[in-house]
């Protein structure tokens, strides 16, 4: 089962051993401007944190970072039950070519 809800940025934890890093570049600045103007339009993908409270980020690290820099306290997120293998596949599938 999955749902979309607004989640506090402080409740989001990085996926363990996340191989991709948010790079500060022109695209990131443009995304931040868009988030400042329109908010986060595409929800992040998260799963309940298997190590405890909050949620573990699967996809949307750039949107999360920019939302924080834009001063937002919450972001929309799809909450999906995923095991580690499913989470890794979803994470890799979400990366832009």
Model confidence at 97: pLDDT above 60:
no
Pairing of the two strands 74-80 and 2-8: antiparallel
77-84 mean pLDDT: 94
**Exposure on the CB side of residue 47, measured as CA atoms within 13 A:** 17
Residue 92: strand, helix, or coil: helix
CATH of 2-94, one of 3.90.1530.10, 1.10.150.120, 3.30.160.60, 3.10.20.740: 3.90.1530.10
Q: For 9-68, write each residue's pLDDT tens digit.
A: 999 998 876 655 656 667 766 777 777 888 888 899 999 998 889 999 998 888 888 888
For the chain, the structural domain boundaries read 2-94
Query: How many Å apart are CA 89 and CA 77, to the nearest integer?
Result: 18
pLDDT of residue 18: 61
Model confidence at 96: pLDDT above 60:
no
Phi, psi (degrees; rounded to nearest 5) at 76 = -75, 140
pTM for this predicted structure = 0.81
């Amino acid at each position: 089962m999955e749902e979309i809800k607004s989640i506090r940025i402080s409740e989001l934890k990085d996926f363990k051993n996340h191989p991709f890093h948010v790079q500060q570049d022109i695209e990131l600045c443009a995304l931040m401007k868009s988030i400042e103007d329109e908010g986060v339009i595409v929800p992040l993908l998260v799963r309940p944190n298997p190590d405890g409270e909050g949620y573990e980020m699967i996809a949307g690290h750039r949107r999360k970072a920019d939302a924080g820099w834009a001063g937002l306290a919450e972001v929309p997120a799809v909450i999906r039950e995923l095991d580690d293998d499913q989470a890794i596949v979803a994470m890799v599938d979400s990366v832009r070519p």
